[in-house]
Amino acid sequence: MHTPEEVLAFKKPTEGFSCSLSDNKYKIEFLEFEIKDYDTSKSVFKVSRDDAPDLSALSLEASKGGVSLEDLARTVRYNLPKEFLKFKTVRTMLKFCVGPLEVPSFRMIERHYYKGELLRNYDFTFGFCIPNSTNTWEAVYDMPVNSKERINDMVGSPDEHVSDSFYFVEDKLVMHNKAYFKYV
């Protein structure tokens, strides 16, 4: 299993997932995620657990696509408006809950790649999480300035922007999710 130091040295997206769903013994669950333009507060993406597809729909999709249900469940596909690539500052909000165990030190490392090259790396330590708590994290980021050519290239290359999100508890990998970004 990978350590934080190892994933921080990754130079491209991983093949498959680096842990299994059952490694999440702390029962950490994501409840909501939202991306907003900081300047206008306009929401460009919002998802909550309540509107996630149910298991039978996922099973059907998994059997059609020839991927495992387990992998499908931790893959997110974002369709973002291309204006997102012009935002100067972005606000993200993540809401998650944890199970009955204390989480001693929770850390997220998220690596974004475009056409196989590292774009950005986010590294945030939440620290301790209270048993059975619901927690939120709102962050404000400055976005890179993208040239017109770059924006056109990204719009014309769906799913080339990939991210790996690794979640650690006391430096032990407990969750790994992937996301694919499409700009429309």
Task: Tell me which residues touch other proteins (CB under 8 A).
Answer: 97-98, 126-130, 133-140
Distance CA 91, CA 132 (A): 26
Other beta carbons within 10 angstroms of residue 2's beta carbon come to 19
Q: Could you tell me if 75 and 178 are in contact, meaning their C-beta atoms sit under 8 angstroms apart? A: yes
Those residues whose C-beta lies under 8 Å from the C-beta of residue 138, and which sit 6 or more positions away, are 91, 92, 93, 94
Residue with smaller CB distance to other proteins, 65 or 131: 131
Minimum gap (Å) between residue 100 Cβ and other proteins:
13
Residue with smaller CB distance to other proteins, 53 or 127: 127
H or E element at residue 59: helix 55-65
Minimum gap (Å) between residue 147 Cβ and other proteins:
25
Minimum gap (Å) between residue 130 Cβ and other proteins:
5
Residue with smaller CB distance to other proteins, 41 or 56: 41
Residue with smaller CB distance to other proteins, 91 or 182: 91
Distance CA 101, CA 133 (A): 10
Minimum gap (Å) between residue 94 Cβ and other proteins:
9
3 state DSSP class of 54: coil
Question: Tokens standing for 37?
Answer: 């333009």
Residue with smaller CB distance to other proteins, 95 or 182: 95
Q: Could you tell me if 160 and 154 are in contact, meaning their C-beta atoms sit under 8 angstroms apart? A: yes
Minimum gap (Å) between residue 138 Cβ and other proteins:
5
